[in-house]
Amino acid sequence: MRKYGVIGLGQVGATVAYTLVQRGTVDELVLIDQNEALATAQKLDLDDASARLSSTTKIILNDYAALADAEVLIIATGNIKAIDMASSKGRFGEYDSNQAIVRDIAPKIVASGFKGILIDIMNPCDVMTDYLQRMTGFPRERVFGTGTFLDTARMQKYVGQALKTNGKNVAGYVYGEHGNSQFVAWSTVSVNGQPISAYPDLDLNQLEEDARQGAFAVMAGKHYTNFAIATCGVRLAEAVSADAQLACPVSAFDPEFGTYVGMPAVVGKNGIESLIHLELTEKERAALQRSANFIKSKVDELPQPEPID
């Protein structure tokens, strides 16, 4: 029996839940949200869809204890209205509200006896992933975030459009923070097997900025993002269940930087199976260090867990 949990049932969490149910990925799904009316409504809507699906998913509502035997737990809670597109704060608009949420849910997750893999979507993603790990005390490989998985997809899309090819033909990675200090490691990028340097007419600075601002382009029209980030969360969860050994960029803990940061890693049944350390240029290496330093500084500002005697 395959069992997942989702905490937070707003636009992103609900889309994650719907995708899991529609795809028949799980046999049981634990849905948790502090807004009981919303949680009940999401469950009812998913139950109504069940009769028209080829699979059946048992939905368990607002029961942390039911997470004890869950394989994957996806954290999608937050306050999207706090994100300020017009300021440099960006995703850090959720910094105050989401750190409080982490302090609230972390002890409940631990008390549930959950022993699976925790995947974080909350913003600011790298900071909150690090904070979730610190507050739960779970092994670092069992906790990771979506990080630059989505930003890399946006980069692939924009490069593909610029070259009139499918973005799936674009390989490479966006590194660093899922936020303003992210960057495209162009030394890793290729198109149809050709290095990006084979396309000298591309405006790499503009393509990088397009990828960085991709979320805000969506939010300008509908005031939230949900389809793409939910797809990323589900893909990573399924990679855990299948032990897919999926090489992809996520927010993972790198001992060299002492924090979580977006970089390529291998995702399998144990969570982060290994980090992928590619040979970056000196400029890229410096950008990654700056981004990691920024993330760590924001985590270190947060109230820390009590030391265990």
- Check whether 81 has a pLDDT greater than 90: no
Looking at the structure, do residues 153 and 140 belong to the same domain, yes or no?
no
The answer to whether 173 and 263 are in contact (CB under 8 A) is yes
Q: Which residue numbers are catalytic?
A: 178
Looking at the structure, do residues 86 and 224 belong to the same domain, yes or no?
no
198 φ/ψ angles, rounded to the nearest 5 degrees: -75, -5
What mean pLDDT is predicted for residues 104-116? 98
3 state SS of 173: strand
Looking at the structure, do residues 132 and 251 belong to the same domain, yes or no?
no
The per-residue DSSP string of 43-110 comes to HHHHHHHHTTSSS--EEEES-GGGGGG-SEEEE----GGG-BTTSTTBGGGGHHHHHHHHHHHHHHHH
- Check whether 90 has a pLDDT greater than 80: no
Looking at the structure, do residues 184 and 275 belong to the same domain, yes or no?
yes
- Listed in sequence order, the residues at least 6 apart from 216 whose beta carbon sits closer than 8 Å to its beta carbon are 85, 90
30 φ/ψ angles, rounded to the nearest 5 degrees: -95, 120
- Check whether 292 has a pLDDT greater than 80: yes
- Residues listed for the chain: 309
The answer to whether 278 and 264 are in contact (CB under 8 A) is yes
Q: What is the pLDDT of residues 217-261, one digit of tens each?
A: 898 899 899 999 999 999 999 999 999 999 999 999 999 999 999
In a domain, 73, yes or no: yes
| CA atoms of 203 and 109, how far apart (whole Å) | 46
What mean pLDDT is predicted for residues 175-180? 96
- Check whether 89 has a pLDDT greater than 70: no
Helix (H) or strand (E) holding 119: strand 117-120
pLDDT confidence bin for 85, thresholds 50/70/90: low
In a domain, 305, yes or no: no
| CA atoms of 48 and 274, how far apart (whole Å) | 41
Q: Which of 12-16, 135-139, 155-159, 211-215 has the lowest mean pLDDT?
A: 211-215
- Residue 103's closest CA among 121, 84, 77, 126? 77
Looking at the structure, do residues 131 and 43 belong to the same domain, yes or no?
yes
Q: Which residue segment(s) compose the domain that 78 sits in? A: 3-145
What mean pLDDT is predicted for residues 298-306? 92
pLDDT confidence bin for 309, thresholds 50/70/90: very low
In a domain, 101, yes or no: yes
In a domain, 38, yes or no: yes
CATH of the domain at 226: 3.90.110.10
pLDDT confidence bin for 206, thresholds 50/70/90: very high
